[in-house]
């Protein structure tokens, strides 16, 4: 039944939200609704408004447009919707862009003793596909070997792959070496980045100093990839 007027704006908005279904393509809705609102003036009927909105192909779909509101109310309501959609457009999430918090430095200027090992655990992680791991090593001028990074998998956070099995599977990489396998990092700072897929909810990042005589300095980062 048509509402008796005058009605409060809140009454109008509540009723409108119950009876209007709008599906919007956010990149186009701002301009399209501007055109629609701008074209509605004195003398336009609700049928004209419905036709105008319906002509915005693929951008706005309007169903059950209320027939019991006068044209002045419809014009005001469409204007408020235009303003609200303009606000929403600026806050749309972009899930393909990694937020800054996805990058974390796990170790900074860490002194890795001769022959020493350091572990950092990730998990449980079930909504990411891989970890991008960056290792930066600073080696003593007399060093004869570099660092080895392992990524060790675990189904439960307690039982992890061992180093021998990880090496057999290729789940490791060495830092401080050239493409032929010769150590070239003595007295240098060298950095390497690898991608390790999440095949279990837990992953342990282990860095081992392969030099049994000289300590080195270590930085370690991880970036989670969707």
Query: Three-state SS string across the chain, please?
Result: CCCCCCCCHHHHHHHHHHHCEEEECHHHHHHHHHHHHHHCCCCCCHHHHHHHHHCCCCCEEEECCCCCCCHHHHHHHHHHHHHHHHHHHCCCCCCCCCCHHHEEEEEEEEEECCCCEEEEEECCCCCCCEEEEEEEEEECCCCCCCEEEEEEEECCCCCCCCHHHHHHHCCEEEECECCCCCECCCCCEEEEEEEEECCCCEEEEEEEECCCCCCEEEEEEEEEEC
User: Is the domain of 215 the same as that of 105?
Assistant: yes
Q: Indicate if the alpha-carbon torsion angle 153, 154, 157, 161 is positive or negative.
A: negative
Digit-coded pLDDT (tens) for 107-128 = 999 999 999 999 999 999 998 9
Q: Are residues 68 and 165 in the same domain?
A: no
pLDDT one-digit tens code per residue, 140-173: 999 999 999 999 999 999 999 999 999 999 999 9
The yes-or-no verdict on residue 19 having pLDDT over 70 is: no
| Structure confidence at residue 35 (pLDDT) | 54
* Residue 94 counted as domain residue: no
Rounded CA separation 149/207 (Å): 5
Mean per-residue pLDDT for 92-101?
49
Q: Are residues 111 and 80 in the same domain?
A: no
For the ranges 30-34, 76-80, 160-164, 198-202, the lowest mean pLDDT is seen at: 30-34
- At residue 202 the predicted structure's pLDDT band, cuts being 50, 70 and 90, is very high
Domain identity same for 127 and 185: yes
Task: Report the C-alpha gap between 51 and 45 in whole angstroms.
Answer: 10
Percent of the chain with pLDDT over 70: 55
Residues 81 and 112 reside in one and the same domain? no
Query: Is 78 contained in some domain?
Result: yes
Based on the fold, state whether residues 161 and 61 are members of the same structural domain.
no
Residue 136: the pLDDT is 98
Residue 109's CATH number? 2.60.120.680
- For residue 6, whether the previous peptide bond is cis, meaning omega lies within 30 degrees of 0, is yes
Which of 24, 58, 89 is the last residue before a domain boundary? Answer: 89
Q: Are residues 111 and 69 in the same domain?
A: no
User: Could you tell me if 84 and 118 lie in one domain?
Assistant: no
175-184: per-residue pLDDT in tens? 999 999 999 9
- Residue that is last in its domain, among 89, 112, 136: 89
How many whole angstroms separate alpha carbon 100 and alpha carbon 149? 24
- 20 within domain boundaries: yes
Q: What's the rounded mean pLDDT across residues 220-224? A: 97
Residue 128, CA distances (Å) to 5, 80, 134, 209 in order: 55, 39, 17, 29
- Residue 212 within a domain: yes
| Total domain count, the chain | 2
Query: Do residues 29 and 83 both lie within one domain?
Result: yes
The first and second tokens of residue 29, run together, are: 């809705």
What's the pLDDT score for residue 226? Answer: 84
**Domain-located, residue 197:** yes
114 and 67 belong to one structural domain: no
Residue 153 located in a structural domain: yes
pLDDT of 24 strictly over 50? no
Same domain, 55 and 18: yes
List phi, psi (to 5°) of 96: -80, -5
Domain residues for the domain of 201 are: 100-225
Write down which residue in 57, 89, 121 finishes a domain: 89
Q: Are 97 and 162 in contact (CB under 8 A)?
A: no
């Amino acid at each position: 039944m048509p509402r008796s007027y005058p009605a409060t704006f809140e009454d109008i908005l509540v009723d409108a939200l119950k009876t209007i279904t709008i599906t919007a393509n956010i990149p186009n809705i701002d301009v399209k609704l501007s055109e629609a609102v701008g074209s509605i003036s004195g003398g336009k009927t609700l049928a004209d408004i419905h036709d105008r909105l319906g002509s915005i192909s693929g951008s706005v779909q309007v169903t059950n447009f209320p027939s019991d509101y006068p044209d002045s109310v419809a014009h005001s309501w469409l204007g408020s919707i235009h303003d609200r959609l303009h606000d929403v457009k600026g806050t749309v999430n972009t899930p393909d862009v990694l937020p800054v918090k996805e990058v974390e430095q796990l170790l900074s200027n860490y002194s890795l003793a001769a022959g020493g090992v350091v572990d950092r655990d990730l998990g449980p992680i079930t909504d990411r596909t891989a970890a991008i791991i960056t290792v930066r090593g600073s080696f003593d001028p007399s060093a004869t070997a570099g660092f080895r990074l392992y990524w060790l998998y675990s189904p439960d956070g307690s039982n992890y792959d061992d180093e021998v099995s990880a090496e057999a599977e290729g789940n490791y990489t060495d830092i401080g070496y050239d493409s032929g396998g010769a150590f070239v990092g003595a007295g240098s700072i060298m950095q390497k980045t690898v991608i390790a897929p999440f095949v279990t909810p837990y992953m342990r990042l282990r860095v081992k100093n392969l030099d049994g005589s000289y300590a080195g300095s270590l930085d370690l980062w991880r970036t989670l990839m969707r």
